Amino acid sequence: MQIQYYDILPVLKPYIRTICTMDCEGDADTSHIHVLPDTCVEIFINYTSTPVAIIGNELYKGSIVNCRMNKPVGVQMRKGAGCLAICFHPGMAYQFFRMPFYLLSNTTTLLADLWKTKAVALETSIADAGTHNQRVALLQQHLLQQLREADDNPQIKYCIQQVQLSKGLISFATLTRHIGFSQRHLSRQFQQYVGLSPREYLKVSRFIYSLAYLKSNLSGSLTSVAYQSGYYDQAHFIRDYKQYAGFTPGEVLRNKHILH
């Protein structure tokens, strides 16, 4: 599969992590990939007549929105498929959809179900574009228009930034104290904008950051990686991997079909 990344407009960079095109040009479907959760929302806009992918056990023919929050998912791209993919930063997709994200958490949804006629018009213009650069330009102009109508939430942005800076180790109580919200109110805001409760978001974030420690300490002990990642002991470390990856830490490292 050919993947090409593109520059993101400066005004969109706080919201979007990556924009890329994905073209499955071979004579066969790609291998099944076990994709780990990353608390992110992704859009895949199909610009071919071929179905995009099999996700889980379901075939998706058109453009989709995937919200991979705290559960892994199996993905297989179909031969001949081509799509434009956007990955949002955690908590930053809400501005472009303006609906409670707890309704979408760990689901794959047709883009047309969320953007209605706007999705159909965007799909058509992107499919008719002559080059990938033109497709990316059309998409970013559409996202800019969506952003002009958005309702931003600086408190959620701040909380997510603090979670990232602490690598998932800041406490829920500290977050609420910093922004002056009650725990109940902050929980409602997280469910609305992110799709997870703050406590669950912190747990998944710690797991995500632990993957970097795991990959950079191939010769070290799992106990050492667990403590570096903020786990109290190896048992909690392994339990989180089984919950969020479906595998032990060692199996995650050895399995070539796990994407993290």
Residues of the chain above pLDDT 90, percent: 71
The whole-number pLDDT of residue 241 equals 94
Residue 23 contacts residue 82 (beta carbons within 8 Å): yes
Residue 20 contacts residue 80 (beta carbons within 8 Å): no
Which of 97, 127, 148 is the last residue before a domain boundary?
A: 148
The whole-number pLDDT of residue 200 equals 96
The whole-number pLDDT of residue 256 equals 81
pLDDT digits (tens, 9 = 90+) for 44-76: 999 998 888 999 889 999 999 999 999 999 998
The whole-number pLDDT of residue 96 equals 92
pLDDT digits (tens, 9 = 90+) for 155-189: 999 999 999 999 999 999 999 999 999 999 999 99
- 181 shares a domain with 106: no
- 174 shares a domain with 197: yes
CATH number at residue 253: 1.10.10.60
Which of 107, 124, 148 is the last residue before a domain boundary?
A: 148
- 164 shares a domain with 144: no
The whole-number pLDDT of residue 78 equals 86
pLDDT digits (tens, 9 = 90+) for 16-36: 999 999 998 877 777 788 899
Q: Note the pTM of the prediction, 2 decimals.
A: 0.91
The whole-number pLDDT of residue 257 equals 83
- 141 shares a domain with 237: no
The whole-number pLDDT of residue 224 equals 87
The whole-number pLDDT of residue 119 equals 94
Higher pLDDT, 209 or 221: 209
pLDDT digits (tens, 9 = 90+) for 142-163: 999 988 877 778 899 999 999 9
Among left, alpha and beta (phi > 0; psi -120 to 50; other), residue 246 is left
Which of 148, 179, 209 is the last residue before a domain boundary?
A: 148
Angle between helices 183-193 and 172-179 (to 10 degrees): 100
196 has a pLDDT exceeding 90: yes
Residue of 25, 67, 27 whose CA lies nearest to 44: 67
- 197 shares a domain with 91: no
The whole-number pLDDT of residue 80 equals 87
The whole-number pLDDT of residue 212 equals 87
CATH number at residue 67: 2.60.120.10
The span from the CA of 87 to the CA of 72, in Å, is 16
pLDDT digits (tens, 9 = 90+) for 89-129: 998 999 899 889 999 999 999 999 999 999 999 999 999 99
- 200 shares a domain with 162: yes
- 99 shares a domain with 28: yes
Total domains, the chain? 2
- 177 shares a domain with 103: no
- 123 shares a domain with 73: yes
Q: Which residues pair with 75 in a beta bridge?
A: 33, 55
- 110 shares a domain with 16: yes
- 59 shares a domain with 129: yes
- 137 shares a domain with 239: no
Domain housing 253 = 154-259
The whole-number pLDDT of residue 164 equals 93
Residue of 96, 237, 258 whose CA lies nearest to 168: 237
CB burial string 206-216: b at 16+ within 10 A, e below: bbbbbbebbee
